[in-house]
Amino acid sequence: METDSSFTFVLFGGTGDLSMRKILPALFEAHRAGGMLADSGKIVAVARHAADRGEYIQWVNEHVKPHVSKNGVDEAAWSSFLERIEFVKIDLGNPEDFALLRDAVKDLPGIRVFYLATGPSLFVPICRALASVGLNENARIVLEKPLGYDLKSSNAINDAVGEIFAEEQIYRIDHYLGKEPVQNLLALRFGNALFEPLWRREWVESIQITIAEELGVEARGDFYDNTGALRDMVQNHLLQLLSIVAMEPPHSMDSDSVRDEKLRVLRALKPIDPLNIGKVAVRGQYHAGGIRGTAVPAYATEPGVKPNSTTETFVALKVEIENWRWAGVPFFLRTGKRLADRVAEIVVNFRAVPHSALGVSALRAGANRLVIRLQPNETIRLYCLAKQPGEGMNLASVHLDLAFDQFFREGQMEAYQRLLLDVINGRLALFVRRDEQEAAWRWVEPILNEWKASNKPPKPYAAGTWGPAAASAMLAQHGTCWLEEEN
Q: Which class for 400: exposed (0-12), middle (13-18), buried (19 or more C-beta within 10 A)?
A: exposed
**Cα–Cα–Cα angle for 147, 150, 153, rounded to 5 degrees:** 65
In eight-state DSSP terms, residue 120 is G
C-alpha–C-alpha distance, residues 429 and 459, integer Å = 38
| Eight-class DSSP state of 341 | S
One of 49, 63, 67, 237 is an active-site residue; which one? Answer: 237
In 3D space, the residue among 343, 328, 331, 398 whose CA is nearest the CA of residue 375 turns out to be 343
Asked whether residue 74 is marked as a ligand-binding residue, the answer is no
Check the annotation: does 232 bind a ligand: yes
Helix (H, G, I), strand (E, B) or coil at 242: helix
Q: Report which of 338, 342, 344 is spatially closest to residue 462, judged by C-alpha positions.
A: 338
CA gyration radius for the chain?
24
- Contacts with 206 (C-beta within 8 Å, 6 or more apart), sequence order: 329, 330, 331, 332, 349, 478, 480
The DSSP code for 437 is H
213 a known binding residue?
yes
Confirm whether residue 238 is marked as ligand binding: no
| Rounded Cα gap, residues 221 and 70, in angstroms | 29
Residues 6+ apart with CB under 8 A from 39: none
How many H-runs (helices) and E-runs (strands) does the chain carry? 18, 17
Residue 48 assigned as binding residue: yes
445 is known to lie in a ligand binding site: no
Q: Is 337 annotated as a binding residue?
A: yes
Q: Is 42 annotated as a binding residue?
A: no
CA distance 375 to 181: 9
Distances (CA, A) of 141 to 51, 73, 237, 349, 422: 26, 30, 20, 39, 12
Nearest to 346 by CA among 360, 356, 332: 332
Rounded to an integer, what distance in angstroms lies between the CA atom of residue 149 and that of residue 172?
15
Annotation marks residue 237 as catalytic: yes
Contact 64, 107 (CB under 8 A): no
DSSP 317-334: EEE-B-STTTTT--EEEE
Residues carrying an active site annotation: 237
Binding-site members for NADP(+) are 48, 91-92, 145
Binding-site members are 48, 91-92, 145, 175, 179, 213, 232, 337
Binding-site members for substrate are 175, 179, 213, 232, 337
